[in-house]
Amino acid sequence: MIIDIIVLLFLGLITFLLVNEGPFSAVILLFCSLISSIVAMGTFEAVAKFFGKWPDMARGAAFLLTFFVLLTLTRTIFDFLVRDDIELPPLPAKITSGVIGFFVGLVVIGTVLIGTQMLPLTASIAGFNRYPNGLARSSSSIWFDPDGFVESIWDMTSGNSMGGSPAFAMIHPHFLKELYGLRYTVQYAGRKTLSPELLKVLAAGTIPNNKASLFHIPPMPGKKILVVRTQVNHGSKQPAISSDSGYFRLTPSEVRLVTTEGRQYYPVGFLRDGALFQKLTFNSAVVDDYRHVGGHRVVIQNWIFALKPSQKPYFIELKGTARGLIAGAGVAKTLAALPMHDYPKLAYENSKLTITVEANAKLGMLTGVAVPAQIRMIKVGGLVQAAYKRLGVISRAISNSRPPWSDAAAHTVGSPTAAEAGQWRSMGNQLIANGNSHEEPWWEILQLFLNSQVSTNTSRSLARLRHYFNNQIIPLLDAQEPVKIKIMPGSSKTIRIAPGNWQIIIWSVHSSHMFVWSKAASVKIGQANSVSLGHGSMIVNYNLSK
């Protein structure tokens, strides 16, 4: 909704400004914006190489910079060469300028939106989620669909009127979905991109449907089962390394196969140890250990794609920036197996955490996440400032003995008596003083935020906390690329999770109640790691149905 309003305002502003510029000036700006957008589309991957020190930002920064520089340059040149406008009667001139201005706005805003979506942001941007019901389902669009409009222009011009080989649509058959998939990550990964030199396609081959059961691959009638074997090197020098840790992490939406017919596919699974099929969904996390092969630390993976029989693979791409050509090497009818020692031993598979939530079974399915135990202040600085100011208001209200605040205090664990509200406000002040580069424990940040949102009675507190949690906390958690959790009250769930220190946050948020549990968990390989969340780990406890 926020981004819709922003688009509407800027579209209206650009249209209004060009109404008074004259039709010829508006036509020139439309031409300049179209040329700038198309050229930026065709060159952003080459220009991104100049941003090699910042690989995650490179494509988006290169694209936006190229567009704005070209737009400014071409408009300046035309202003210098063309001094006079076409003379039309006032009303037709304004109508013509306004119509052309509307399309100028669509091109400029759509191009900026696409460039923004290339940046390493979350799947949801300013409240807009292109695939709110999952990447495999239907998409939604921003009002007037400016980014879709620009993508259509690119598809029409690349490889046709503007030349170029191969066409943009051949490499990026569904660019907006591709960009969404790169942002839609389900587990924390330090690297959003992969240096091209670190990826190698070892082989590609088909598995006949009558042989699929040997790999435990389910029947796929009417489909061609393709296996693409890739090798990813760890790398030895920043920024050309594939991971900041001992694990290589991927989400299936970061792996795409493009065919020579211009179709785009995502993997339906992979072969564990090159032998057994493991199904993938867009909510799966693929985590592999590195292993020494041929003098390098590498990860070897066998991706399974279900293609239409007529489709022929062109290339495979990982994390948006590393492509391995398949078409030139050809596709084998059978794919030779690799020795077991070429596959990682997957110590990660022995790194598990069992989570138990002690709660009323009537709550139904609970939602939660596991996030790294600490978060850098630069990501939450604005929210910390706002929480600090509101806690000042709360502590003064309690100090002045305003009775309604005592009701709120009784329903949020640990706050807010006058002393406790003052204590949390002091902690907020200390977090601010530590600076943006400092890392803080997630449990402190969460307590600070939620304690700052209580109001003067239980129902108001619940409404305010629920709105704040859904619109501020959940997007913030999603931005940390968490391990996502679904668990029934009173039951246990075991998740695969990398070794290290984590914060487990579980919640049930409805119109009549809100419960939030949070507890730290330390995970070590080969140990029986477990964490239990009960009343003692409850941060918020509101229930109007009592």
Which pLDDT score is estimated for 340? 63
Asked whether the predicted pLDDT for residue 206 surpasses 60, the reply is yes
Q: Does domain 190-345 have CATH number 1.10.260?
A: no
* Coil, strand or helix at 420: helix
The b/e string for 85-123 (b: 16+ C-beta within 10 A; e otherwise) is beeeeeeebbebbbebbbbbbbbbbbbbbbbbbbbbebb
Strand order in the sheet with 529-533: 492-496, 352-357, 529-533
Say whether pLDDT at 415 is over 50: no
Question: Is the previous residue joined to 166 through a cis bond, with omega within 30 degrees of 0?
Answer: yes
Q: Which residue has the higher pLDDT, 395 or 489?
A: 489
Quote the tokens at residue 301: 């993976």
| pLDDT confidence tier of residue 224, bands split at 50, 70 and 90 | very high
Residue 147 has pLDDT above 90, yes or no: yes
**Tokens 């508006």 -> residue:** 26
Tell me the C-alpha distance between 413 and 223, whole Å: 55
d(CA 447, CA 519): 11
pLDDT of residue 22: 78
Q: What is the pLDDT of residue 79?
A: 79
Q: In the structure, what pLDDT confidence band is assigned to residue 36 with cuts at 50, 70 and 90? A: very high
Average the pLDDT over each of 94-103, 106-115, 164-173, 287-296 and give the range with the smallest value.
287-296
Tell me the mean pLDDT in the region 147-174: 79
- Return the structure tokens found at 197: 């030199």
Record the tokens describing residue 535, joined without a space. 């009343």
Mean pLDDT to the nearest integer, 125-149? 84
Least confident of 188-202, 278-292, 497-511: 278-292
Q: Per-residue confidence at 532, pLDDT binned at 50, 70, 90?
A: very high
pLDDT in the model for residue 422:
67
Q: Does 330 or 524 have the greater pLDDT score?
A: 524
Instruction: Tell whether the model's pLDDT for residue 408 goes beyond 60.
Output: no
Q: Which residue has the higher pLDDT, 211 or 412?
A: 211
- Name the residue with higher pLDDT: 469 or 458: 469
pLDDT on residue 517: 94
Share of the chain above pLDDT 70, in %: 86
Pair type for strands 513-523 and 374-376:
unpaired
Statement: residue 280 has pLDDT above 70 = yes
Q: Which has the minimum average pLDDT: 173-187, 300-314, 327-341?
A: 327-341
Tokens of residue 501, six digits: 């220190």
Q: Is the pLDDT of residue 296 over 90?
A: no
Contacting residues for 194 by C-beta, under 8 A, at least 6 apart: 232, 242, 318, 319, 320, 321, 322
DSSP 238: T
Do 485 and 493 contact (CB within 8 A), yes or no? yes
Q: E-strand spans in 57-147?
A: none
Lookup: tokens for 253: 């939406």
Q: What is the reported pLDDT for 68?
A: 96
Report domain extents, the chain. Answer: 2-182, 190-345, 352-543
Query: Which segment of 51-65, 245-259, 403-417, 523-537 scores lowest on mean pLDDT?
Result: 403-417
pLDDT band at 346 (very low <50, low <70, confident <90, very high): low
Residues in the chain: 546
b/e sequence 416-431, b meaning 16+ C-beta within 10 Å = bebebbbbbbebbeeb
pLDDT of residue 167: 82
Task: Give me the pLDDT at residue 328, please.
Answer: 64
Q: Whole-angstrom Cα distance, residue 13 to residue 296? A: 55
Counting residues of the chain whose pLDDT is more than 90, the rounded percentage is 34
Most confidently modeled of 108-122, 494-508, 529-543? Answer: 108-122
Structure confidence at residue 131 as a pLDDT band (50, 70, 90):
confident
From the number of C-beta atoms within 10 Å of its C-beta (0-12, 13-18, 19+), residue 363 rates as middle
Contact status, residue 155 vs residue 111, Cβ threshold 8 Å: no
Say how far apart CA 468 and CA 451 lie, in whole Å.
11
Weakest-pLDDT range from 302-306, 345-349, 395-399: 345-349
Distances (CA, A) of 455 to 351, 507, 511: 42, 20, 16
- 74 φ, ψ to 5°? -65, -40
What pLDDT sits at residue 162? 43
Mean pLDDT of 475-485: 82
Average pLDDT of the residues in 461-471: 86
Record the pTM. 0.69
User: Model confidence at 414, in pLDDT bands (50, 70, 90)?
Assistant: very low
Torsion angle, CA of 65/69/75/77, rounded to 10 degrees?
-160
Can you say how many angstroms the Cα of residue 526 is from the centroid of all Cα atoms in its chain?
Answer: 31
Report yes or no: 120 and 26 within 8 Å, Cβ to Cβ. no
Give start and end residues of each alpha helix (H) in 374-514: 381-399, 404-409, 418-434, 442-451, 458-468, 474-478
pLDDT reading at 197 higher than 50: yes
Instruction: Give residue 334's pLDDT.
Output: 64
Taking all residues of the chain, what is their mean pLDDT, rounded to a whole number?
Answer: 83
Q: What is the pLDDT of residue 418?
A: 56
Contacts of 161 (CB under 8 A, 6+ apart): none
Q: 502, 370 in Cβ contact below 8 A?
A: yes
Mean pLDDT of 127-132: 84
Q: Which residues pair with 517 in a beta bridge?
A: 506, 538
* Mean pLDDT calculated for residue range 199-213: 88
**Tokens 């003067």 identify what position?**
456
Q: Residue 28 corresponds to which tokens in the numbers above?
A: 């020139």
Please check whether residue 533 is in contact with residue 367, taking contact to mean a CB–CB distance below 8 angstroms: no
DSSP assignment of 34-76:
HHHHHHHHHHHHHHGGGGTTSHHHHHHHHHHHHHHHHHHHHHH
pLDDT of residue 81: 78
DSSP 8-class letter at 239: T
Our separate counts of H helices and E strands in the chain read 13, 22
- Output the pLDDT for position 316: 96
What pLDDT does 163 receive? 46
